[in-house]
Amino acid sequence: MNGDFKHIPVLPQEVLKFLKPERGGRYIDCTLGGGGHSKMILESSENVQLLGLDQDENALKAATKRLSSFSNRFESKRMNFGDLASLKETDWDGVDGILMDIGVSSHQIDEADRGFSYVHDGPLDMRMDNRQEETAADILNSADERELTRIFREYGEERNARRIAKRVVRERETKQWESTGEFAELVKAVVGRSKTGKAPSPAKCFQALRIAVNRELEVLEDGLAAAFDMLKPGGRLVVISFHSLEDRMVKEFFRDKALSCTCPPDFPVCVCDAKAELKVLTGKAVMASAAETEDNSRSTCSKLRAAERI
Ligand SMILES: C[S@@+](CC[C@H](N)C(=O)[O-])C[C@H]1O[C@@H](n2cnc3c(N)ncnc32)[C@H](O)[C@@H]1O
């Protein structure tokens, strides 16, 4: 691991605006990363206590070091936020706010040996948690053509998903997939230049493989349900996502919890007695300003949604 942990927190002011940590209280940052958002939350009030979670050992070490001056108000734990429900009935149940800034950090992408990058050659790893067994290479070397097509299409929205999957499987007859460089070259060769002459990019397939390796959508589903459950009334949930599938999951989760009636639309009167459990605070997803995207290109596709438990 490099000495520095480089990661600029996205939508910093918006996170503070919706979490409102200046009112004090207990907060969980489910995606500690470099500790940028956590630091801002801890600095907003001396009455803030924060638990930071990350499944990545390096991130946890770097953030814990960075936030060591807050030691009496800050705790960290190596954990997947998909297991957040395991914190129910601990001191961290019934909190004032929960933040999820999902996806990978710039640091993870920059470290070639983590295998997230198509710019630097490295092993096809892509595990955020290195205790997990399955790597990106394992998926490329064992999934059948249909499953690979689904991964590239569904998680990467890659138009050439089927052709890429076919080539991955065909090349397995003579070799094992091992390096990010080899896989990037295959994708570029299949995709080819666009009609306007734009160079092909393997970005979508890398994103798709990463989502599959880390089961990011399944984990988000579990994490959202547990996070809602752990908020006290008036507590706020803020989620930043970087992918349309994730953003849609967050939007639909909030919408369902905000519904005050679940009767079929043709029922003349409400018979369900359902009550809204959440108030959605962001009509449309909040996006980074032009100034922020200029300073931090990673913020370009970030989308923030926030809600308050009733
Ligand atoms: C985008 S970065 C967060 C950056 C952080 N907000 C900051 O300001 O530095 C995402 C971090 O969340 C972690 N992460 C992603 N999914 C996770 C999950 N399901 N459980 C725990 N940590 C996760 C990654 O390892 C990474 O360190």
Instruction: Give the pLDDT confidence of 82-108 residue by residue, as tens digits.
Output: 999 999 989 999 999 999 999 899 899
Amino acid identity for residue 300 in this structure: T
- What distances in angstroms separate CA 71 from CA 39, 58, 65, 77, one per listed residue? 12, 19, 10, 13
Q: Quote the crossing angle between the two packed helices 12-19 and 36-44, to the nearest 10°.
A: 50
Q: Give 291: exposed, middle or buried? Use CB within 10 Å, 0-12, 13-18, 19+.
A: exposed
The radius of gyration computed from the CA coordinates of the chain, to the nearest angstrom, equals: 21
| Cβ of 235 below 6 Å from ligand 1 | no
Q: In the chain, which stretches have pLDDT less than 50?
A: 1-2
Cα(102) to centroid(ligand 1), Å:
6
Q: What is the pTM of this model?
A: 0.95
Contact status, residue 32 vs residue 53, Cβ threshold 8 Å: yes
102 touches ligand 1 (CB under 6 Å): yes
Q: What is the pLDDT of residues 2-12, one digit of tens each?
A: 457 788 999 99
CA–centroid distance, 90 to ligand 1, in Å, is 22
169 CA to centre of ligand 1 in angstroms: 32
For residue 76, how many other CB atoms are within 10 A of its CB? 20
Ligand 1 touching residue 87 (CB < 6 A)? no
59 in contact with ligand 1, CB cutoff 6 A? yes
Residue 306 near residue 241, CB atoms below 8 Å: no
The Cα–Cα gap between 97 and 20 comes to 8
Q: What angle do CA 155, 158, 116 make, to 5 degrees?
A: 60
Contacts 24+ apart (CB under 8 A), 106-109: 106/6, 106/7, 106/8, 106/298, 107/2, 107/5, 107/6, 107/7, 107/33, 107/34, 107/58, 107/59, 107/62, 108/56, 108/59
Q: What is the C-alpha to C-alpha distance for residues 179 and 181, in angstroms, rounded to an integer?
A: 5
Domains of the chain: 12-106+216-309 (3.40.50.150), 133-213 (1.10.150.170)
pLDDT of 112 = 92
Q: What are phi and psi of 31, to 5 degrees?
A: -135, 75
133: CA distance to ligand 1 center in Å? Answer: 19
CB of 299 closer than 6 angstroms to any ligand 1 atom: no
> What number of other Cβ atoms are within 10 A of residue 133's Cβ?
7
The per-residue pLDDT for 265 is 85
CA distance 196 to 93: 54
Residue 115: closest CA among 33, 210, 191, 200? 210
* Cβ–ligand 1 contact at 37 (below 6 Å): yes
State residue 2's pLDDT score.
Answer: 44
- Give residue 193's pLDDT: 83
Return the pLDDT at 4: 72
